[in-house]
């Protein structure tokens, strides 16, 4: 669920009108609901209460320091994939000792930085990386804590760009050889084996792939605990969110109206299926949710600039572009598009909603039946809290948008809109 809903015919984030935010901050602007983030974190944390666990928020989903600070206050750990994300966590008040460092291409500088700060563990993605971490740690006179990522070759049945657990994906070490890699790692002088890690993909809306992967890998985790004394088993993230219908799904009534067999994956269902497999291991279980916590906690506000009616199509041209929210262009991501104000009955129109970027792929939807909003109207692209602003660019020399965090009746700017001087600041001329 989430805290975006209509009050007095205007869409609100918690108790703040999105129309008022748009008037004050301009468009495009990302708006996040603090209480949605808190509730999603707590629901997952509570669901896993019967087992020893940590919820390690995947920073890549939304790395704004204010969002990280909010989650740090909730007690979250952090899943990072770069030295820059570690820097952000520290700036947000987070403890490096609660950070696990994933990613297939860690540099010497990143490894040294993480070792100096004392992170919880590196999630090692290849044997070459393992050897390099051992070398760097030795040169620093340190011992590097590591978990090794296994690729379970389980099909998550999600988009190919966000599938991570199949043999053809770049992530992790093949299941058939992982035991041998652990054996060789146990003999390395400058690494300490701390855990086993896996992750099969993102935006999973059924529990079956999770259950298949955990069932396959759990015996391996038990064996590694016995042989090498590993302390944790990280089962990754990937719990999906509701993109369609996003707005309706904010209401408990929508969830109550769903037949149990048609119910999207909930934390309760997720936990009930996995806890019986995980609890007998006696290991700490790490989870790495990102999208689940922040995805439906954010929207992007944009304004319709023009309508263009041609022989083949009707286009609604807005002031946000693919540089602001790239998901539709990158992997056909769906975002519900909602006018910020309600009035009388509206007609509908089949339209493409497109941005001003000079690319044919700069669209937010194609041939979608939408309320026939007019030039000048404000719109919300729902479910934009994850992989939205964090993936933004200044392509076409377009400044990055404002970001706003709403907490109850308070709206705080947590990133100012870039200026052209900001964009040019690092250029030499």
Binding region for substrate: 291, 327, 331, 359, 387
First vs last C-alpha separation in the chain: 50
Are residues 256 and 391 located together in one domain of the fold?
no
pTM for the whole thing? 0.94
- Residues 86 and 194 both lie in one domain: yes
- Catalytic site residue from 99, 304, 358, 365: 358
Q: For 119, list phi and psi in degrees, rounded to 5.
A: -70, 165
Q: Is residue 28 part of a domain?
A: no
Residue 288 sits in the same domain as residue 320: no
Are 315 and 344 members of one domain? Answer: yes
* CATH code for the domain in which residue 411 is found: 2.40.37.10
Q: Which residues contact 309 (CB under 8 A, 6 or more apart)?
A: 315
Residue 417 dihedral angles phi and psi, to the nearest 5°:
-65, 135
The pLDDT value recorded for residue 171 is: 67
Distance CA 145, CA 134 (A): 10
Which residue range is the domain that position 259 belongs to?
34-293
In the numeric block, the tokens 């109550």 are attached to 256
d(CA 2, CA 234): 27
Based on the fold, state whether residues 152 and 234 are members of the same structural domain: yes
The secondary structure element, H or E, covering residue 37 is helix 34-47
Instruction: State the binding site for pyridoxal 5'-phosphate.
Output: 238, 288-291, 387
For 74, the token pair is 């909730």
Query: Are the C-beta atoms of 337 and 302 separated by less than 8 Å?
Result: no
Do residue 235 and residue 300 come from a single domain? no
What integer pLDDT is reported at residue 60 of this predicted model?
97
CATH of the domain at 142: 3.20.20.10
The secondary structure element, H or E, covering residue 7 is strand 4-7
Sign of the Cα pseudo-torsion (127, 129, 131, 134, in order): negative
Look at residue 20 and tell me if it is in a domain: no
> Rounded to an integer, what distance in angstroms lies between the CA atom of residue 367 and that of residue 352?
5
pLDDT of residue 169: 58
C-beta separation of 196 from 234 below 8 A:
yes
124 with 192: CB under 8 angstroms?
Answer: no
Active site residue 358: yes
Task: Check whether residue 50 and residue 167 sit in a common domain.
Answer: yes
Domain count along the chain:
2
Query: pLDDT tens, 14-58?
Result: 999 999 999 999 999 999 999 999 999 999 999 999 999 999 999
Whether residues 252 and 382 share a domain: the answer is no
Same-domain check for residues 107 and 159 = yes
Q: Is the peptide bond between 141 and the residue preceding it cis, with omega within 30 degrees of 0? A: no
For residue 73, is it within any domain?
yes
- CB within 8 Å of 250: residues ≥ 6 apart: 1, 2, 3, 4, 5, 296
- Are 234 and 372 in a shared domain? no
Q: How far is CA 111 from CA 116, 117, 127, 360, in A?
A: 9, 10, 15, 40
With beta carbons less than 8 A apart as the criterion, state whether 204 and 269 touch. no
Among residues 278, 293, 308, the one where a domain terminates is 293
| 202 and 326 co-located in one domain | no
Q: Are residues 334 and 202 in the same domain?
A: no
How far is Cα 380 from Cα 27, in angstroms, rounded to an integer? 11
The helix (H) or strand (E) run that includes residue 287 is: strand 284-287
pLDDT at 157: 55
Per-residue pLDDT of the chain (429 residues; tens, 9 = 90+): 899 999 999 999 999 999 999 999 999 999 999 999 999 999 999 999 999 999 999 999 999 999 999 999 999 999 999 999 999 999 999 999 999 999 999 999 999 999 999 999 999 999 999 999 999 999 999 999 999 999 887 765 554 444 444 445 556 899 999 999 999 999 999 999 999 999 988 889 889 999 999 999 999 999 999 999 999 999 999 999 999 999 999 998 898 888 766 677 899 999 999 999 999 999 999 999 999 999 999 999 999 999 999 888 999 999 999 999 999 999 899 999 999 999 878 899 999 999 999 999 999 999 999 999 999 999 999 999 999 999 999 999 999 999 999 999 999 999 999 999 999 999 999
Residue 163: what pLDDT? 42
What is the H or E stretch that residue 203 is in? none
């Amino acid at each position: 669920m989430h805290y975006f809903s209509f009050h007095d015919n205007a869409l609100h984030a918690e108790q703040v009108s999105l129309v008022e935010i748009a008037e004050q901050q301009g468009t495009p602007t990302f708006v996040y609901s603090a209480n949605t983030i808190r509730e999603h974190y707590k629901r997952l944390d509570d669901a896993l209460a019967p087992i020893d666990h940590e919820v390690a928020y995947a920073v890549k989903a939304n790395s704004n320091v204010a969002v990280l600070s909010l989650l740090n206050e909730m007690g979250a750990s952090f899943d990072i994939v770069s030295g820059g994300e570690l820097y952000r966590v520290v700036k947000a008040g987070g403890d490096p000792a609660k950070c696990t460092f994933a990613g297939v291409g860690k540099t010497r500088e990143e490894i040294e930085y993480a070792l100096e700060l004392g992170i919880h563990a590196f999630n090692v993605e290849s044997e070459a990386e393992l050897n390099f971490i051992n070398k760097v740690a030795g040169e620093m006179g340190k011992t590097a804590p590591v978990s090794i990522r296994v690729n379970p070759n389980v099909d998550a049945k999600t988009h190919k760009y966000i599938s991570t657990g199949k043999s053809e994906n770049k992530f992790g070490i093949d299941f058939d050889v992982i035991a041998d890699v652990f054996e060789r790692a146990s003999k390395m002088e400058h690494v300490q084996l701390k855990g086993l890690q896996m992750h099969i993909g993102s935006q999973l809306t059924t529990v079956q792939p999770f259950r298949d992967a955990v069932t396959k890998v759990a015996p391996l985790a038990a064996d590694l605990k016995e042989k090498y004394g590993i302390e944790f088993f990280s089962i990754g993230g990937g719990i999906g969110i509701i993109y369609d219908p996003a707005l309706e799904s904010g209401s408990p009534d929508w969830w109550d109206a769903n037949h149990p067999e048609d119910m999207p994956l909930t934390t309760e269902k997720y936990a009930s299926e996995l806890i019986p497999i995980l609890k007998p291991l006696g290991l700490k279980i790490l989870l790495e949710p990102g999208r689940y916590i922040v995805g439906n906690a954010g929207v992007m506000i944009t304004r319709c600039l023009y309508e263009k009616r041609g022989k083949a199509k009707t286009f609604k041209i807005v002031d946000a572009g693919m540089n602001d929210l790239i998901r539709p262009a990158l992997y056909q991501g769906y975002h519900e598009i909602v006018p910020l104000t309600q009035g009388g009955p509206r007609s509908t129109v089949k339209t493409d909603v497109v941005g001003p970027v000079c690319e044919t792929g700069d669209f937010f939807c194609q041939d979608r039946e939408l309320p026939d909003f007019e030039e000048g109207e404000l719109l919300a692209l729902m479910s934009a809290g994850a992989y939205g602003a964090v993936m933004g660019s200044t392509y076409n020399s377009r400044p990055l948008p404002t970001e706003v965090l709403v907490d109850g009746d308070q709206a705080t700017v947590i990133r100012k809109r870039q200026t052209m001087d900001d964009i040019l600041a690092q250029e030499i001329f």
